[in-house]
């Protein structure tokens, strides 16, 4: 029978963790043997029947000894702390070129969305030797994303995004578990992570994995988000040119936002999500609380986490000085994720070269044209209108904010956010500290 | 120490009915039990009630172990399995481990050890037992009406919104039982401060009293926080206010902060009294003053204090700030220092001692070994990078069982055996006690050591179904648990047996030091005819004590080796 003693090492993180683990095992073994050995030896040697041993001058206290066994554990403890803190910091700093994949936990399955629109359930396909960053959220209770072979784990919370990253080093199939107890079928909420060679992965992600499990190619995440952006007429208030009702969304990702409360927050994924779902909780300085909330939920008219995720993904792609453009259709056969030398110019945007290069679409209030290239009547959007079924209009517009530092296209484009050159996932990924949500 | 003489004489079994009046036999009226203010009677009532809850928790554990024999168990439904481990956790933690040593041995011994006639607030003490019973009954009703499936940690928003089980009932039970802890803590603190006998200075106190004092501080400071937290869960669940549920603007992580602010110190509520018991046992059975008395005493206080600043080490993977995690991690490492001080001081006490291998001593030695492993494996979980892997796996389960079962429960059993003659006036059968100490030690290791391995392999806790490759370890664990179960069952039988048939114990069958051994066994209701005056430090053992103890035991029909002969 094959009895495993030790988990596979399949990520760059695994070796670091295992080294500390072995050190701790050695320390545990040493001290346990020392204490048990001494206790047994003393107890037998000084048993009450044995009168041949010298019991004279038995000490009652001994300061040097006390200090010895206080200071040695102290030094060892601090040493282990430092050694184990170092790899811990890596977890909080995903490399800028990490491939971002979105994960939604719901009772009791893992739902994975690749940037090009491929979705899978309880399966995650990733390329070997490539940093992978997962942006995760739960639709209901707290879940935990855990791949033992990678030695990574991160809780998946409702209401905010958590991220985890790792770099797989070994091709294979590994367990994926939910580690935060989530109810009846908690132990069945798991699946497999498949690490593939780069070429296999490219084939998989382009063809939708056929004949693999059964992921289905849809629109890219960003184009789904763009469609929703249109459906909900977000541009009515958030246009850059006359975005007087609400702050412009152009180029805000990863930037500091000044709030009416006087605080500043970083506009990271969780902030963007919160501003859709509960806009009243953080109002940008100079604006009023006018925006209706678009809650996530199962009822008719409410958004799903997938939809919010796609809108966040879309807003992240928004450049600095322009209104959004009709999203191009996601073409499943479009070559995706070339890993052969070109770092990260994936087609996940579906907007390559169109959306963010200064094209100015019509931005009349409430009259966004249906994007020409949009495939069909956006079936996934049906039923996701606000509860009353109407296109949301700003009811009353009372005050014109006189300070809006970000609306002026000319001033709001800080150097470095070259969104026209690298339209999609680049902005902000290196500037926010994932995992640290403003609160 | 006091003017009370040890009576070495033999009390024949037939004279039991004419035994001098003591706290047990002065009245057998049920009303005199249920309305008693006597700390000793309340302690006995606690022993009975926590034994009941322990059995309940053990039955749930047996169910869990049966389910895990098979990686795709068909015996239970997922739902049932979840209810089993929730019941096991809730009952064992809130209704066995937290009250175990403080409410039984603590209640019984603190007034005796400090030379007082009772605790400071006898009626408060009785109230705390009633609160415990009310809390326990509510939780029991929650179980009878279909159970609860949140786990003992009640994480939100699962517990406050999603679970369809009897959360309100169970949480109310835990909430009420919390007040029982608070009242016990207040009682002990006041008693230790105000009611010590003349001459009994702080540094003459037995270490058990120091440990109970540290425990009481945590009870009083920590329990209100968990009470507030659980109340907020109830409010969210019944009134649908957004406190922890993000859909209503709440924060689920807030719950974890508040919960662990109590529940990590609660771990020390469970283990500190164990330290106190072990110090008493080691001192008595090595005939030595505890090595480094003041270090052992202050390490209890240090653990209680540091214990309040480490709660975040339960939350390294929740996404809490990296820097918070680092602070929580390093303080957790610091807890290792006072723990190490205790272990090494106990070891040094055995050096040049006169070691008497009785069952309580075996329990104490087992405790030191298992607690050492339990404590050191805690460092794995305090180490940030390693905890990312180990969090929420079986490694955690193994670690806290080494501390809670290998530590706290072994200490409780050791203490119960040690003070059994004092509490009941009867000796337990030494052979069977040694046998069950051995079985407990072996069975415990067989049960929980495999869980370290399966935990590092990555098996998450609270899993009904699991990957087939872990099965060997789980089967081993179940096999061990049946040995462990036997180790608990045997004492249950012979301790009850000994109430009627055990050898009659003199006032001091161990030749032990401490004021509790200067009064008859069982003690009279008022403990001391005359409040003793203490003139020496704790654990001042002399060779004469041994001679006296041996004479006493010979009179009881117990031989040198502790083997029992016919009474």
List pLDDT tens digits, range A15-59: 999 999 999 999 999 999 999 999 999 999 998 888 888 887 888
> Residue A210: its pLDDT value, please?
58
CB contact, 8 Å: B323 with chain A?
Answer: no
Paired strand residues for A166:
A132
> Residue A222: its pLDDT value, please?
82
What is the C-alpha separation between A416 and A397, in angstroms, rounded? 34
Q: Answer for the pair B149, A183: CB distance below 8 angstroms, yes or no.
A: yes
CB contact, 8 Å: B73 with chain A?
Answer: no
* Minimal CA separation from B513 to chain A, in Å: 16
Paired strand residues for A173:
A194
Helix (H, G, I), strand (E, B) or coil at A304: coil
pTM for the full predicted model: 0.81
What is the C-alpha separation between A295 and A292, in angstroms, rounded? 9
CB contact, 8 Å: B294 with chain A?
Answer: yes
pLDDT of A329 > 80? The answer is no
pLDDT of A362 > 60? The answer is no
Q: Which among A251-255, A294-298, B532-536 has the top mean pLDDT?
A: B532-536
Sign of torsion, CA A308 A314 A315 A317? positive
* Minimal CA separation from B309 to chain A, in Å: 16
Average pLDDT on A102-120 reads 89
What is the C-alpha separation between B47 and B102, in angstroms, rounded? 11
- Among residues A302, A265, A206, A304, which one has the least CA distance to residue A433? A265
What is the C-alpha separation between A264 and A258, in angstroms, rounded? 5
What is the C-alpha separation between B98 and B263, in angstroms, rounded? 11
pLDDT of A271 > 90? The answer is no
Average pLDDT on B175-197 reads 95
Q: Which among A23-32, A415-424, B556-565 has the top mean pLDDT?
A: A23-32
Instruction: Give chain B positions within 8 Å (CB) of A269.
Output: none
Within 352-371 of B, beta carbons closer than 8 Å to A belong to: 352-357, 365, 368-369
Average pLDDT on B535-560 reads 71
What is the C-alpha separation between A340 and B360, in angstroms, rounded? 69
Structure tokens at A13: 């993180």
> Residue A211: its pLDDT value, please?
54
What is the DSSP track for A300-365?
Answer: TTPBPHHHHHHHHHHHHH--SS----PPPPP-TTS-----SS--S--GGGS-TTTTTSS------T
If one compares A425 and B42, the residue with the highest pLDDT of the two is B42
Within 508-527 of B, beta carbons closer than 8 Å to A belong to: none
CB contact, 8 Å: A78 with chain B?
Answer: yes
If one compares A371 and A80, the residue with the highest pLDDT of the two is A80
Among the listed ranges A182-196, B13-27, B237-251, which one has the minimum average pLDDT value? B13-27
pLDDT of B227 > 50? The answer is yes
3-state secondary structure B416-436: HHHHHHHHHCECCCHHHHHHH
- pLDDT, tens digit, for every residue of B303-359? 999 999 999 999 999 988 899 999 999 999 999 999 999 999 999 999 988 899 999
- pLDDT, tens digit, for every residue of A177-225? 999 999 999 999 999 999 999 999 988 888 766 554 554 555 788 888 8
Contact B458 A21 (CB under 8 A): no
Other CB atoms within 10 Å distance of the CB of residue B387: 26
> pLDDT averaged over chain A?
73
If one compares B462 and A325, the residue with the highest pLDDT of the two is B462
Instruction: Give chain B positions within 8 Å (CB) of A92.
Output: 322
> pLDDT averaged over chain B?
90
- pLDDT, tens digit, for every residue of B357-372? 999 999 999 999 999 9
pLDDT of A414 > 70? The answer is no
What is the C-alpha separation between A9 and A19, in angstroms, rounded? 12
What is the C-alpha separation between B233 and B236, in angstroms, rounded? 5
Percentages helix, strand, coil for chain B (3-state, rounded to 5) are 70, 0, 30
**Which of B386, B453, B461 is best to mutate for the A interface (most A CBs within 10 A)?**
B386
> Residue B511: its pLDDT value, please?
86
* Minimal CA separation from A88 to chain B, in Å: 5
What is the DSSP track for A26-59?
Answer: HHHHHHHHHHHHHHHHHHHHTBTT--SS--TT--
Structure tokens at B393: 């796996």
Q: Answer for the pair A317, A420: CB distance below 8 angstroms, yes or no.
A: no
pLDDT of A433 > 60? The answer is no
Contact B356 A89 (CB under 8 A): no
* Minimal CA separation from A41 to chain B, in Å: 9
Contact A152 B368 (CB under 8 A): no
Q: Answer for the pair B148, B142: CB distance below 8 angstroms, yes or no.
A: yes
> Residue B68: its pLDDT value, please?
94
pLDDT band at residue A339 under the 50/70/90 scheme: very low
**Which of B384, B394, B474 is best to mutate for the A interface (most A CBs within 10 A)?**
B384
DSSP A65: H
- pLDDT, tens digit, for every residue of B372-396? 999 999 999 999 999 999 999 999 9
Which of A4, A20, A38 is opposite residue B386, by nearest beta carbon? A20
> Residue A241: its pLDDT value, please?
52
Contact A157 B318 (CB under 8 A): yes
Contact A91 B163 (CB under 8 A): no
Average pLDDT on A404-430 reads 35
CA B404 distance to own-chain centroid:
8
Contact A74 B334 (CB under 8 A): yes
Q: What is the ipTM of this complex?
A: 0.88
If one compares A350 and A278, the residue with the highest pLDDT of the two is A278
* Minimal CA separation from B507 to chain A, in Å: 22
- Among residues B448, B431, B305, which one has the least CA distance to residue B369? B448
What is the C-alpha separation between B46 and B101, in angstroms, rounded? 10
What is the C-alpha separation between B497 and B476, in angstroms, rounded? 32
Rg (CA), chain A: 28
Which of B150, B384, B473 is opposite residue A88, by nearest beta carbon? B384
């Amino acid at each position: 029978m094959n009895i495993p003693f030790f988990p596979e090492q399949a990520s760059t993180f695994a070796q670091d963790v295992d080294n500390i683990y072995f050190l701790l095992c050695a320390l545990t073994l040493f001290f346990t043997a020392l204490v048990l050995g001494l206790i047994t030896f003393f107890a037998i040697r000084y048993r009450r029947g044995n009168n041949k041993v010298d019991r004279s001058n038995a000490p009652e206290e001994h300061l040097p000894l006390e200090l010895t066994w206080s200071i040695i554990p102290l030094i060892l403890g601090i040493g282990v702390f430092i050694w184990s803190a170092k790899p811990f910091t890596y977890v909080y700093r995903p490399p800028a070129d990490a491939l971002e994949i979105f994960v939604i936990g719901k009772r009791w399955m893992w739902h994975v969305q690749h940037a090009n629109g491929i979705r899978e359930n309880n399966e995650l396909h990733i390329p070997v030797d490539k940093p992978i960053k997962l942006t995760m959220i739960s639709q209901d209770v707290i879940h935990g994303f855990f791949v033992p072979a990678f030695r990574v784990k991160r809780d998946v919370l409702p209401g905010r995004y958590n991220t985890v990253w790792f770099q797989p080093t070994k091709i294979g199939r590994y367990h994926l578990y939910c580690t935060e107890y989530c109810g009846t079928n908690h132990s069945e909420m798991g699946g497999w992570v498949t690490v593939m060679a780069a070429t296999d992965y490219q084939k998989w992600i382009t063809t939708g994995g056929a004949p693999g499990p059964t992921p289905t190619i849809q629109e890219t995440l960003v184009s789904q988000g763009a469609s929703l952006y249109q459906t909900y007429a977000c541009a009515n208030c958030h246009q850059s040119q006359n975005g007087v009702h609400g702050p412009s969304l152009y180029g805000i990702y990863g930037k500091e936002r000044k709030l009416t409360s006087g605080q500043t927050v970083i506009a990271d994924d969780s902030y963007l999500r919160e501003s859709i779902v509960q806009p009243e909780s953080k109002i940008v300085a100079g604006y009023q609380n006018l925006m209706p909330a678009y809650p996530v939920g199962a009822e008719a008219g409410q958004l799903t986490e997938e939809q919010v995720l796609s809108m966040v993904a879309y807003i992240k792609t928004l450049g600095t000085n322009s209104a959004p453009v009709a999203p191009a259709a996601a073409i499943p056969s479009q070559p995706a994720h070339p890993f052969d030398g070109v770092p990260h110019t994936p087609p996940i945007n579906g907007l390559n070269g169109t959306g963010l290069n200064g094209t100015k679409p019509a931005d009349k209030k409430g009259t966004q044209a249906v994007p020409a290239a949009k495939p069909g009547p956006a079936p996934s959007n049906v039923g996701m209108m606000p509860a009353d079924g109407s296109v949301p209009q700003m009811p009353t517009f009372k005050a014109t904010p006189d300070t809006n530092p970000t609306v002026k296209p000319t001033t709001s484009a800080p150097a470095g956010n070259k969104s026209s050159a690298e339209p999609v996932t680049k902005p902000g990924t290196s500037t926010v500290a994932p995992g640290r949500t403003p609160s | 120490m006091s003017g009370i003489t040890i009576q070495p004489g033999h009390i024949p079994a037939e004279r039991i009915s004419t035994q001098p009046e003591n706290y047990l036999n002065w009245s057998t009226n049920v009303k005199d039990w249920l309305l008693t203010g006597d700390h000793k009677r309340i302690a006995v009532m606690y022993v009975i009630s926590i034994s009941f809850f322990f059995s309940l928790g053990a039955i749930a554990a047996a169910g869990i172990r049966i389910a895990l024999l098979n990686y795709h168990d068909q015996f239970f439904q997922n739902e049932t399995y979840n209810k089993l481990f929730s019941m096991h956790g809730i009952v064992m933690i809130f209704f066995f481990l937290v009250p175990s040593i403080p409410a039984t041995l603590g209640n019984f011994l603190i007034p005796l050890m400090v030379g007082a006639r009772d605790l400071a607030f006898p009626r408060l003490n009785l109230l705390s037992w009633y609160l415990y019973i009310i809390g326990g009954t509510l939780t029991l009703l929650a179980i009878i009406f279909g159970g609860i499936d949140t786990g003992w940690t009640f994480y939100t928003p699962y517990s406050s919104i999603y679970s369809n089980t009897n959360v309100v009932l169970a949480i109310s039970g835990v909430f009420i039982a919390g007040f029982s802890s608070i009242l016990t803590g207040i009682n002990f603190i006041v008693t230790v401060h105000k009611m010590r006998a003349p001459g009994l200075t702080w540094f003459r106190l037995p270490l058990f009293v120091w440990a109970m004092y540290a425990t009481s501080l945590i009870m009083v400071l920590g329990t209100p926080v968990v009470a507030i937290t659980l109340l907020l869960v109830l409010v969210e669940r019944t009134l649908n206010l957004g406190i922890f549920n993000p859909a209503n603007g709440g924060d689920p992580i807030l719950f974890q902060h508040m919960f662990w602010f109590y529940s990590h110190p609660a771990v020390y509520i469970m283990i500190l009294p164990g330290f106190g018991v072990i110090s008493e046992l080691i001192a008595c059975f090595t005939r030595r003053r505890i090595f480094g008395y003041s270090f052992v005493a202050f390490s209890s206080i240090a653990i209680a204090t540091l214990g309040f600043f480490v709660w975040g080490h339960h939350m390294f993977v929740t996404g809490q700030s990296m820097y918070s995690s680092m602070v929580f991690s390093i303080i957790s490492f610091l807890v290792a220092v006072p723990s190490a001080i205790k272990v090494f001081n106990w070891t040094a006490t055995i050096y040049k001692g006169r070691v008497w291998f009785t069952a309580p001593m075996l329990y104490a030695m087992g405790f030191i070994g298992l607690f050492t492993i339990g404590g050191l494996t805690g460092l794995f979980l305090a180490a940030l990078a390693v905890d990312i892997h180990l969090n929420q796996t079986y490694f955690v389960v193994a670690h806290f069982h080494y501390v809670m079962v290998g530590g706290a429960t072994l200490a409780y059993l050791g203490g119960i055996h040690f003070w059994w003659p004092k509490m009941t006036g009867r000796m337990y059968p030494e052979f069977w006690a040694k046998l069950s100490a051995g079985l407990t030690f072996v069975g415990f290791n067989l049960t929980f050591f495999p869980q370290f391995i399966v935990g590092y392999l990555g098996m998450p806790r609270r899993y009904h179904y699991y990957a087939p490759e872990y099965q060997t370890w789980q089967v081993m664990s179940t096999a061990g648990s049946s040995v462990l179960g036997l180790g608990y069952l045997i004492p249950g039988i012979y301790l009850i047996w000994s109430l009627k048939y055990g050898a009659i114990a003199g006032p001091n069958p161990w030749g032990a030091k401490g004021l509790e051994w200067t009064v008859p066994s069982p003690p009279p209701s008022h403990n001391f005819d005359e409040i003793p005056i203490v003139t020496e430090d704790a654990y001042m053992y002399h060779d004469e004590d041994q001679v006296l103890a041996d004479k006493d035991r010979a009179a009881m029909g117990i031989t040198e080796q502790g083997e029992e002969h016919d009474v």
